[in-house]
Amino acid sequence: MENFSGQLINLFAALLLLISFGMLSQRRVLSLINLFALQGLMLTISTVIVAYSSHQHHLYYSAALTLVLKVIILPWILHRLMRKLNVKWDIETLFNIPTTMLVGIALVVFAFNLAAPISMMGGAITKSTLGIAMASVLLSFLMMITRSKAVPQVIGFLAMENGLFFAATSATYGMPMVVELGIALDVLVGMFILGIFFFQIRETFDSLDLKHMEKLKED
Amino acid sequence: MNGILLQLFQDTLVVLIAPLLLGWVNQCRAWLQNRSGPGVLRPYLNMVKLFHKDAVLAHNASPMFRFHPYILFACMWLAASLVPVIATDLPLSPAVDVIALVGIFALARVFVSLAAMDIGTSFGTLGARREMLVGFLAEPALLMVFFTAAAISHSTSLTTIVETLAHKQFIIHPSLAFAAVAFIMVLLAENARIPVDNPSTHLELTMIHEAMILEYSARHLALIEWASALKLLAFTTIGFALFMPWGIAEAGNWGALPLALAALFIKLTVAGAGLALLETISAKMRIFRVPEFMGTAFLLAVLGLLVHFLHGN
Amino acid sequence: MEILWILVIPLIGGLLLALFGGQRFAPELNSIMSFGTFVASAFLTVRVITDGPMTALNEQFFVDSFNVFLVALTAFVAFTTSLFSRPYMRIEQVHGKLTINMLRLYHSMYQLFTFTMLLALLTNNLGIMWVAMEAATLTTVLLVSLYRTPASLEAAWKYFILCGVGIAQALFGTILLYFAAEKVLGAGGTALLWTHLDAVKTQLEPTVLSLAFVFLLVGYGTKVGLAPLHNWLPDAHAEGPTPVSAVLSGLLLNVALYAVVRSKVLVDGALGSHLAGNLMMGFGLLSVVMAAFFLSRQKDVKRMFAYSSIEHMGLMTFAFGMGGPVATFAGMLHMTVHSLTKSAIFFAVGHATQKSGTQLMENIRGLITTNPTIGWGLAIGSLAILGMPPFGVFASEFLIITTAMHAYPWTTPFLLAALGVAFAAIFSRVQSMVFGETTDERLPHPPALVPVFVHLGLVLLLGLYIPPYLADWYRQAAALIG
Amino acid sequence: MIFASTLLPIDVTFGVIVYWLLLGLAGLLLQNTRAITQYIFPAGALGALILAAAALGSLGGAVNVAVLPLGLPDLPFHLRLDALSAFFLLLLGAASIGISLYSAGYFRDMPGNTLGLLCFEYHVFLASMALVLMADDAYMFMVAWETMALSSYFLVTTDHKVPEIRQAGFIYLLVAHVGAIAILMCFGVMQGGHGDYTFATMRSAHLTEFWSSVTFLLALFGFGAKAGILPLHIWLPEAHPAAPSPVSALMSGIMLKTAIYGILRVSLDLLDAHIWWWGVLALTLGLITALFGVIFAAVQTDMKRLLAYSSIENIGIILVGIGLALTFHAFEKDALAALALTATLYHALNHAFMKGLLFIGTGSVLHATGERNLGKLGGLIHHMPKLALLMLVGALAIAGLPPLNGFVSEWLLLQAFLLSPGLPHSYLNMLIPVAAAALVLASALSGYVMVKFYGVIFLGQPREKTLHEAHDIGIFERLGLTWLALGCILLGVFPVFVILLIDPVTQMLLGQTLGSTAAQTGWLLLTPIQPERASYSPLILFLIIVVGVIFTIFLVKKFYHGRLRRGPAWDCGFPEQTARMQDTAEGFGQPIRQIFEPFLGVTRIVPSPFDKKPHYHGESRDRLWNLLYLPIARVTEKISVMVGKLQHGRIHVYLLYSFVTLLALLAFIR
């Protein structure tokens, strides 16, 4: 049973990582949002499994939290924004996806190496998860670097939060509840503020392209 | 007591014979140039003449201008009376060692230049500038010459130097050779002699000393002439004291005094003639060659000092 | 009890001002709330001085001599800044730069920002500390973008994204910390409580903690403004309203550094090596040097002083990195005097820019003639921040440099060069702003410069005489941090 | 304050400091020209008098210390009054008496608010200098040191509306600050660790040879920046002329000496190791500085710049003395070291008086004519005879002419040189005569400079019509100038007493004194070693010259009819003489410029023969400015451009920075 759930977790972890890669290479904003939602779902499921297998009841709450926040609310908000800003169908050009992929793979290797000594001492189910969590965090980071528009950058930011959550749940059976609530609140508020920002940016630069925001520099 | 007597004697002596030396040099020069010459006593007669004239001062002459001749005269008199001319036990000599002696010459020079600038004529300032130009190189050179001697005798007091050089066992000091050459060059420059300056012309291109005293007349001029005569005497006697100190009487040795006096006169005669010869065979140089000339003197003097240390250790 | 007040007052203030923030009395209300906070913090301080360290609300909050002086400092500067912002924001409104709603947002966010900082300082729970830091970012983002100008939007966006990402790293670090801690303390709430962690820090797993520290350093370091993570800082300082620049420079950076130092203590305990210290020294030195060279090409006055903040945060980080009683003492002293001085400078700068209607330094001239108080305030403040005695900044720099020369001589040439360049850069500009001829006329309304001279007076005092109890805090804190 | 029940000298000196600060505050609050000039400045002079008296009393007395309840928690301010500080305090007090008195007259028509501020800065400046001299721990020292720099900066920029003056002030404060950081590091090396910064611990700290040398070099750099030693002199000729004349006098006469004090304190008192090349380094630097200063002084056309360069020269001479002393000390020839050190301190004292006198004198000239350019002055001896007389004393003194004070110190220094042979290093023995020659050259050149200075300002015909309105000095100015001139004469004529004053210092630093030998044949005759080796009696010299002059005058009066006519100047019969025909400052300096052309970057504008309005312009600039300072500035600029590129503006790049940093650190700890 133990190792079965462990394998399950590893499976979902792998899926999580896969999705991060997918986001890294995804051109269309809309599908990016869907991928994000999917990632949230994976996170939720893995959290539930961890909760079940390790009998950590408060993890159910955090799973629910994740579900509500990351699978429902945030994607919903994003969808509405897309509609309102009618950038629903817009496609952004990334520079050279294969290169990005290669870098991503290198990052994964790096992350696993980094996490290896820690995984050794980790509990049964946290064998490789920490490495995967770290990898997905780094991948989201990479994604933010490569994105040239505002919305995808924000999605990358949120994906990073996913990675962190995954680390929290799978590696440490979840943070204390109060902390998780606080984090969730921050993410939510942050999302709202970003929403406001999109509109302001839009009306000031009449585009969400970040290349308009390179005025402040040393000349 | 005897010392004081001797001091007074020397003071009067130098004051009295200074113009004589000047006259002698000029006379020799005249002979060397196939002229009959003004005669040895000409300087005295000049001064007598000047002391009978009325003094004329420029309208804007300041007290500085009027007092300067007296200060100059006093300085030169002091300088001449400090050098052990005939005997070494001069009560005044401890008060002023060679460095101070150079200081006195410098003091005189500064006053000459200031007085020359006082009227504010073109020639005056020109002379002052050139005088200082010569001076700022001659002064260190002279000091270096003294240092060489001082380093030999481990003393900067002139009397001690003379005693060491004259009365210790006789040693050849190669450093002194350099010093002597340098000293002669300095002497020529300091006393406004050819090749640095020409005391007998008032030619704008060449004159230094004369340009500074253009505005002086009568008694002031007389004092200045007398002072420069004293300066010449002082330098010559310093030269004797450093490089041919033989015959100068030791402290308390009264018997040697007449001998010393005779020696002095012989030396002065020779030196005057030599000086005249030097002036005749060398040509007046352009004013901007002068720094090089003096620089050479300075370097020679330093070289002398170096040579001394080289041998000393 | 006081702790509760300290946290509740600004919270209520934030809510009230969210409602009435647009009214005429709003600025006064703002100042009153800040004053209340300050009073409460004063009581807390007294309490701590008398009873020593304490925890509250089943260990959720924790006060020791290290954070109590930061709490007092934060509350005080927040109060004086609110005093300064009262006339300043009015004039901005008169100039038509602000609408009523913006003003409302400003006031309520100001209070909430204070709240988050105090929370971050007072909480015993490293997780909550992270939450508070993130919240502080969010509130200040709104403050920075207040003017809605393209520049301010850009600045706010960069601020948000960079700090958000940075903070995310810090969260990962916190998780790793928790991961290591629960091995020792078991799962559940207590494993993130600083007091408990501190007790068991020697048993924590070294490899995990070194990993965690990297994430924490990069995370909170971004907020401290350590080079090369500093890029948000000058933009945010230059484009936000001046009172916000003052509190950002004066307080937020301190709080972030506080977080870094707290984590350093744990890591040092666990590793028993000087790794954390070396990392901090490296970052500090790099920041000082880079900031110095950035400084020498500035045109915008607020931007320039933002870079000077980077330089000084670098200096503090360097000091804490060196460790040891003297250096740590110096670091905390530098925290205090830097907040006071830098906020004072921003006050003066605020009035100067408002008066001459520009932030470009070549258009600001002859302040001493047109408005002596501003001119002298700016001149003295700048000289103080440049480390001129008898001001307090000099005292701390004295200790830092001499200690560095004693312990790490190789660092001092960099410090010498950097401080020299920074001095030339700032002073030449300030001199030409303060002195010289000018055409523009005197300020119509009297500037509110009481805060400036209060701050500078305190800094002067700290340069000549450090009150014994303050010295004792510093010493105890230095003992805690080691 | 932990003071003994009886009133120690240190109480008095510290009292004076407080008193000065209070005076400054009073001035700041009063802001009333009349009150400040009539009462506060004279009161300051009184304070200076008390300070000087106390210092004089404590010279040779017991060392006394005090601790103030101020400063850093573990490090209260320590004060110490030992022989060295006492001597420099004496210098400070004695010189500032004259300067303060003078200021009372000089500032009489300055607007009240400006004057109030100036009075405050002025007295803070005095007080901080005194504190520098009394400080006994690094923190106190640095606080006083930087306060000194700061107050003098504000004094320099009193007239901040002039861009050049702002520039000067900036350069001054920048150099001072960099120097201060170097001093800080030097203390950092010497400190005992754990925040123990008292000089006592530094004395007891035994550093390795390497660290001692580092300390010495840092100290030489730091204090050299303040003293104006090459190549850190760059600020001096800018800042001194910019300041109001009494301030220039304070800076040049006294502030530079605090730097000398610092060098002596560190190298001879705090450091216990002594390495021979320190001395040689100082000696060489000193010679270069001296020659540089005097050559540049000779080609200046602004009277205050000229004096500033002459200060550089004198600092060079003082440094030569220090170098000699250090060398001798390193070879355990402490008697000779004492001689050199005595000469050094003597010269420092002299320079305070001479340069103070000359600077405030230029102040009066400035006041009367509004001219600083020598080319527009001249003939002032007719309109300002009193000033001219007093300035003559200063000029002769600084030219190093007997029987005034400038000569005595140089005489002593030359004696030290002459006695130097016998050092174990043969190279040194070669070096020393050359050094002596260079020194002599410098002092001879200073004669040239002073003739130019005095002659062009006071003698000749007025070069401008306006000069005829020049009025002579008022009572306070006269008092101040007279005091300093008197100092120059007395210091020159009674050297033995001065040397007896200096003895405690050499006793403290080297354990050797000069006084016993110097006074062996009574106070009349100065004999550094033995009477037959070297002796000098300025008093006798002076008397002889005076007697000689009087005697001559008497004789002439007796035998000469004394008729005297006034007429136009003759000048070889050239009829129309105009003021334009006399040498300007450029003209007078021209030979020097010609000879030393390689050293000075000379720019000339020579008119062509066909010019309608021919205009000659020659300017000598400091090459080091182009060779050293501008390159540094350019390099800084380059680096900052490169660094600036990092702030690229693209958020992606910024994210990349953080990302790379993160990865790098992870890789690093891995």
Contacts of C436 (CB under 8 A, 6+ apart): C365, C366, D160, D161, D163, D166
Interface test with C, best of A62, A175, A205, A215 (most C CBs within 10 A): A175
Interface list for chain D against chain A, based on CB atoms closer than 8 Å: 644-652, 655-656, 659, 662-663, 666-667, 670
The pLDDT of residue C177 is above 80? yes
Do the Cβ atoms of B120 and D447 come within 8 Å? no
Cα dihedral D475→D477→D483→D484 (10° resolution): -160
* pLDDT reported for residue B313: 46
| Helix H or strand E segment including D543 | helix D538-559
Please give the residue that has the higher pLDDT: either C267 or B210. Answer: C267
pLDDT digits (tens, 9 = 90+) for A28-51: 888 899 999 999 999 999 888 888
Please compute the mean of the pLDDT values over residues D291-314 and round it to a whole number: 92
The pLDDT of residue D50 is above 90? yes
Helix intervals (H) in D196-275: 199-204, 209-227, 236-242, 245-250, 256-264
Q: If you measure CA to CA, which chain D residue comes closest to C279?
A: D665
Distance (Å) from the C-alpha of residue D14 to the closest C-alpha of chain B? 41
Q: Does C157 touch chain A (CB under 8 A)?
A: yes
For tokens 């003698």, the residue is: D459
Do the Cβ atoms of C368 and D160 come within 8 Å? yes
Chains touching A by CB (3 or more pairs below 8 Å): C, D
Chain B hits for D336, CB-CB cut-off 8 Å, are: none
Chain D hits for A138, CB-CB cut-off 8 Å, are: 659, 663
Distance (Å) from the C-alpha of residue D643 to the closest C-alpha of chain C? 7
pLDDT digits (tens, 9 = 90+) for D147-202: 999 999 999 998 888 888 999 999 999 999 999 999 999 998 888 666 788 898 88
**Single-letter residue type at D632:** I
Do the Cβ atoms of D649 and A217 come within 8 Å? yes
pLDDT digits (tens, 9 = 90+) for D251-261: 999 999 999 99
pLDDT confidence bin for D433, thresholds 50/70/90: confident
pLDDT digits (tens, 9 = 90+) for C94-115: 888 888 889 999 999 999 999 9
For tokens 């009395």, the residue is: C25
C vs D, Cβ pairs < 8 A, gives 164
Chain B hits for D559, CB-CB cut-off 8 Å, are: 51
Q: DSSP characters for B65-117?
A: HHHHHHHHHHHHHHHHHHS-SSBS--TTGGG--HHHHHHHHHHHHHHHHHHHH
Do the Cβ atoms of D647 and A144 come within 8 Å? no
Chain A hits for D655, CB-CB cut-off 8 Å, are: 141, 144-145
The pLDDT of residue D19 is above 80? yes
Q: Does D569 touch chain C (CB under 8 A)?
A: no
Which residue ranges in chain A fall short of pLDDT 70? 1-2, 88-90, 93-95, 121-127
Distance (Å) from the C-alpha of residue D398 to the closest C-alpha of chain A? 53
- Cis (ω within 30 of 0) for the bond into D241? no
Q: If you measure CA to CA, which chain C residue comes closest to D150?
A: C388
Do the Cβ atoms of C157 and A197 come within 8 Å? yes
pLDDT confidence bin for C447, thresholds 50/70/90: low
Distance (Å) from the C-alpha of residue D175 to the closest C-alpha of chain C? 9
* pLDDT reported for residue A57: 82
The pLDDT of residue D9 is above 80? yes
Please compute the mean of the pLDDT values over residues D138-143 and round it to a whole number: 92
Q: If you measure CA to CA, which chain D residue comes closest to A115?
A: D670
Helix intervals (H) in D370-425: 380-383, 385-398, 405-418
The complex's ipTM works out to: 0.90
Distance (Å) from the C-alpha of residue D365 to the closest C-alpha of chain C? 27
Instruction: Give the strand pairing for D601-605 and D75-81.
Output: unpaired
CB atoms under 10 Å from CB of A53, counted, come to 20
Chain C hits for A114, CB-CB cut-off 8 Å, are: 211
Chain B hits for D544, CB-CB cut-off 8 Å, are: 74, 78, 92, 95
Q: Residue D440 and residue B142: Cα distance in Å, rounded?
A: 10
Q: Residue C183 and residue D19: Cα distance in Å, rounded?
A: 67
Do the Cβ atoms of D645 and A110 come within 8 Å? no
Distance (Å) from the C-alpha of residue C386 to the closest C-alpha of chain D? 10
pLDDT digits (tens, 9 = 90+) for C50-85: 888 888 888 889 998 888 889 999 999 999 999 999
* pLDDT reported for residue B254: 74
**B5-9, C308-312, D383-387: the lowest-pLDDT one:** B5-9
Please compute the mean of the pLDDT values over residues C428-449 and round it to a whole number: 76
Do the Cβ atoms of D647 and A145 come within 8 Å? no
Contact D45, D95 (CB under 8 A): no
Chain D hits for C325, CB-CB cut-off 8 Å, are: 194-195
pLDDT above 70 coverage of chain D, percent: 98
pLDDT digits (tens, 9 = 90+) for D502-525: 989 999 998 888 877 777 777 888
**Rounded mean pLDDT of chain D?**
88
pLDDT digits (tens, 9 = 90+) for B214-242: 888 888 899 999 999 999 999 999 998 88
CB atoms under 10 Å from CB of D631, counted, come to 10
* pLDDT reported for residue D3: 44
Q: Which of residues 313-342 of C touch A (CB under 8 A)?
A: none
Q: Residue D451 and residue D310: Cα distance in Å, rounded?
A: 13
* pLDDT reported for residue D1: 41
pLDDT digits (tens, 9 = 90+) for B133-179: 888 889 999 999 998 888 888 888 888 888 888 766 566 778 888 88
pLDDT confidence bin for C313, thresholds 50/70/90: very high
Q: Residue A158 and residue C50: Cα distance in Å, rounded?
A: 46
Contact B100, D400 (CB under 8 A): no
* pLDDT reported for residue C441: 65
pLDDT confidence bin for D4, thresholds 50/70/90: very low
DSSP, collapsed to helix, strand or coil, labels residue B129 as helix
Q: If you measure CA to CA, which chain B residue comes closest to D384?
A: B62
Q: If you measure CA to CA, which chain A residue comes closest to C179?
A: A172
DSSP, collapsed to helix, strand or coil, labels residue C467 as coil
pLDDT confidence bin for C188, thresholds 50/70/90: low
Chains touching D by CB (3 or more pairs below 8 Å): A, B, C
Please give the residue that has the higher pLDDT: either C357 or C146. Answer: C146
The pLDDT of residue C317 is above 90? yes
What does each C-alpha distance from D153 to A214, C395, D173, D615 come to in angstroms?
A: 41, 21, 6, 37
Q: Residue D320 and residue D312: Cα distance in Å, rounded?
A: 12
**Rounded mean pLDDT of chain C?**
90
pLDDT digits (tens, 9 = 90+) for D331-365: 888 888 999 999 999 999 999 999 999 999 999 99
Please give the residue that has the higher pLDDT: either D582 or D618. Answer: D582
Q: Does C280 touch chain D (CB under 8 A)?
A: no
The pLDDT of residue D400 is above 70? yes
B vs D, Cβ pairs < 8 A, gives 262
Distance (Å) from the C-alpha of residue D643 to the closest C-alpha of chain A? 9
